[in-house]
Chains A and B, each alone.
Chain A
Amino acid sequence: MIAMIDKSILLPLFEWMATTSLGQSISNSKYAFAVIEVFHLFGIILLLGSTSLMALRLVGLGMKQQKITDVARSVGWYTFAGLLTMLVTGGMMMVSIPTKYYHSAPFWWKMGFFWTGVLFHFTLYRKATRSDRTGLLLGGITAALAIILWYGTGAFGRAIGFY
């Protein structure tokens, strides 16, 4: 699906990013990128940790004594904080070496998984976690999608460093 989209129309955008002062100051600094990436990892931990907890509850493997909506309420803020941290730090990393990302295949897979994840998070995931009547079928599909999309985002993100 991702391969069908012609990404070359985005190339000027990526080339422009490298000329921004934010992008240049990060790429000129010796430590900025490394520090930003550490915070990017903290964001991933918040996101994966909290959605894993929610997924376990949806399939009845953890925190069964609590209502789905109670678990959703307490993990929701952490998921959101993780998403926001990833977006801000990820954006900063992207503007510092945009053309490297543009030519990296795992980067485009990561973007596919990430934005599908965001769409899923505010639609099906929201529907399934906002009702205590969510059954094992809907709960199981939601949990599986959450795990595949978010862990996939993380895996492809790691792969950018290699390919």
Chain B
Amino acid sequence: MDFSNSAYMQLYDKINGYLLEKSIALANSSFGTYIRESIWEFPVIEGIHVLSIAMSVGMILWFDLRLMGVNMRHRPVSEVFRGVYWWMVGGFTAAIVSGVILFWAEADRAFPNIFARFKFMGLLFAGLNILYFHNVTQKSQSEWDYAARPPLKVRMAGFMSITWWVIVIAAGRLMAYTF
């Protein structure tokens, strides 16, 4: 079977080609060009991107480790969550906004990059992990909120979250090397 010419591959090529075209247009837009060619803006936005990731992922890691029963075991899960929530959300918002601007400026090179795709995949799975945790696992939170070592499904949610964020950060850094 010639896989390279299968219906799936043709569809993939079509979508890929369409998005690549859009990415090139994005990078060549006046805003994209302005950011890319700037002396200060690009490095400053990149700095904000790295530091806001460090803050928000640091906080997410803290909550994940509580879910895994590793730290702050004597405090309820909900209390640890409240302590980090707004800082996590604030840092993550800054990371998303700065990340969108960086992608905008270099979309033509970022979109086809293999590590960029790993990073987006990691972000997607991290998001799905949060959705599943919030809509399914957290329904029974009253049963394990005070548990020093929460049940396996809760520890798994924390472990998976850390795994996806490690992938996002490693892929994000490696992406910059392959530009």
Contact = CB atoms under 8 A, between A and B. Distances in A.
A50 B72 CA distance: 13
A74 B61 CA distance: 13
Nearest to B79: A65
Given A37-B173, A38-B169, A151-B51, A49 B79 contact: no
A62 B71 contact: no
B61 A34 contact: no
A139 to B, nearest CB: 16
B47 A159 contact: yes
Interface residues of B, number: 27
A34 B54 contact: no
A10 to B, nearest CB: 26
Q: Classify the interface of chain B: helix, strand, loop or mixed.
A: helix
A48 B83 CA distance: 16
B120 to A, nearest CB: 17
A41 B169 contact: yes
Nearest to B169: A41
Contacts of B54: 41, 44-45, 48-49, 154
B156 interface: no
B174 A38 contact: yes
B144 to A, nearest CB: 19
A12 B170 CA distance: 34
B46 A66 contact: no
A134 interface: no
B173 A34 contact: yes
B151 interface: no
A94 interface: no
Contact of A158 (B43, B55, B71, B87): B43
Interface in A30-78: 34, 37-38, 41-42, 44-46, 48-50, 52-53, 56, 62-63, 65-66, 74
Contacts of A45: 53-54, 57-58, 61, 169
B62 interface: yes
Of the candidates B55, B58, B61, B79, the one having the most CB atoms from chain A within 10 angstroms of its own CB is B58
Given A48-B55, A53-B59, A158-B46, A41 B71 contact: no
Given A62-B87, A151-B51, A159-B43, A74 B71 contact: yes
Contacts of B84: 53, 62
A162 interface: yes
A155 interface: yes
Contacts of A162: 43, 46
B123 interface: no
13 contacts: A49-B58, A52-B58, A53-B83, A62-B87, A63-B79, A65-B79, A74-B71, A74-B72, A154-B54, A155-B47, A159-B43, A159-B47, A162-B43
Given A53-B59, A151-B51, 6 more contacts: A41-B169, A42-B169, A49-B61, A56-B83, A154-B50, A154-B54
Interface of A: 34, 37-38, 41-42, 44-46, 48-50, 52-53, 56, 62-63, 65-66, 74, 151, 154-155, 158-159, 162-163
9 tightest Cβ-Cβ pairs between the two chains A and B: A49-B58, A63-B83, A48-B54, A162-B43, A62-B83, A158-B47, A38-B170, A45-B54, A34-B177
